[in-house]
Amino acid sequence: MPRTPLVRTSSFAYHVTARANNKEWFYVPPETAWRIFRAQLAESADKYGVRLHAFVLMANHYHLVLSTPEANLDRFMRHFMTECCRRFQIATGRINHIFGGRYRWSVLESAYGLAYVLKYVFRNPVRAGLCGRVEDYPHSSLSPTCSLPISEGFDSYWRLIPKDWTRRLLWLNSPAAREIEEVIQRALRRRHFRLTSQGDWQSRVRTLRASYGVGDADVQ
């Protein structure tokens, strides 16, 4: 099956995710995996001029939100995943694949999409029952001990995300209905992040304003 052509952009962020081979853990203790990913993310971002906005490492996959001022997602991800594989192979003595396939990406072309996805990403550990609050999960860029070079900006692109840290954590920790988050999950399967309005989804999407802090302007 041919690879989908990359949508290159220096104006908007991407959501990127990839899974471990056979959906297993990364063959090393969680803290070792976190250390490898964290170090390689920082190195690759510096090498390719990429801005990191959010990173959450789950049991067998990761979620990454980033932007590429040089429109070079492919070069960054090739280096990042190749070097991660090399480091994991050294740590485990394995020569097999570390990742189960290509990474998947979705372009977040609006302030609404950015806000939906940032909250969705940070709430992954809470949904999985791994922690009670987003800031308590140790393998997240929200963790107080995380040393990743996280950046924000883009002026109005970030307008729907609370600037005050206390307000931001309240916003991130306010839950949303499961069916609403399933809408976001499906939207992330698209190359261009879009919510749908099939059936009564449009009215349900509107309820995101209460928990996600955004409206329904991108419902299509």
Q: Percentage helix, strand, coil, to 5, in the chain?
A: 45, 15, 40
User: Across all residues in the chain, what is the average pLDDT?
Assistant: 86
The closest of 185, 187, 178 to 219, measured between CA atoms, is 187
Instruction: Tell me the pLDDT tens digit for each residue of 87-111.
Output: 888 887 776 677 767 899 999 999 9
Average pLDDT over residues 118-142: 96
pTM here is 0.89
What the chain holds in terms of domains, given with CATH numbers, is 13-212 (3.30.70.1290)
| Whether pLDDT at 219 is above 90 | no
> Which class for 123: exposed (0-12), middle (13-18), buried (19 or more C-beta within 10 A)?
buried
pLDDT, one tens digit per residue, over 44-68 is: 999 999 999 999 999 889 999 999 9
Tokens of 107: 């372009």
